[in-house]
Amino acid sequence: MVLVCEYETSERKNQLLGFLLARITGQECELENVAVASESQRRRVGTQLIHALIQAAREHRVLRILLEVRESNIPARSLYEKLGFKVTNRRQSYYNHPTEDAVLYALALKESGGI
C-alpha cells in the first residue's frame, strides 16, 4: 500500500507546501520521500507530515518505519532524529552523483521505547 501525505494551506490558494510518500508492506513502512518547498522550510511542515505518517502507520498496525538518507543530508537527518528515529545501519557508496553512503534509520512504533 502506498501512502501519500500532502500539506496545503488555504491562505495561498491551496498551494502544496510539502508532501510525503511511504509504502506499507506487512508490519513495516518504508518512508520513500519527504520534501517541503524551500520557502516553507523550518516551519514544522516536515514534522507535521511525519506525524501524519506515524498516525497512518499506527492505524495500519505497522511496527517499524524505515528510511534511508544521504549521509550529508543534515536537515533531513536532524528532523528524523528529533522525531525519535535511530540509526540502524549504513550502506557504503549507495548513492551516485555524488557517491555517498546511505544512513539507515528506524522508528519503532510499539514496545522498546517507540513513540
Ligand X SMILES: CC(C)(COP(=O)(O)OP(=O)(O)OC[C@H]1O[C@@H](n2cnc3c(N)ncnc32)[C@H](O)[C@@H]1OP(=O)(O)O)[C@@H](O)C(=O)NCCC(=O)NCCS
Q: Where does this chain bind ligand X (CB under 6 A)?
A: 33-36, 41-47, 69, 73-76, 78-79, 82
The CB-of-31 to ligand X minimum distance in angstroms stands at: 7
Q: C-alpha angle with apex 38: 105 to 53, nearest 5 degrees?
A: 40
Contacts with 96 (C-beta within 8 Å, 6 or more apart), sequence order: none
The CB-of-111 to ligand X minimum distance in angstroms stands at: 26
Q: Rank residues 46 and 85 by Cβ distance to ligand X and give the closer one.
A: 46
The residue count for the chain = 115
d(CA 38, CA 32): 19
The CB-of-22 to ligand X minimum distance in angstroms stands at: 11
Q: Rank residues 24 and 52 by Cβ distance to ligand X and give the closer one.
A: 52
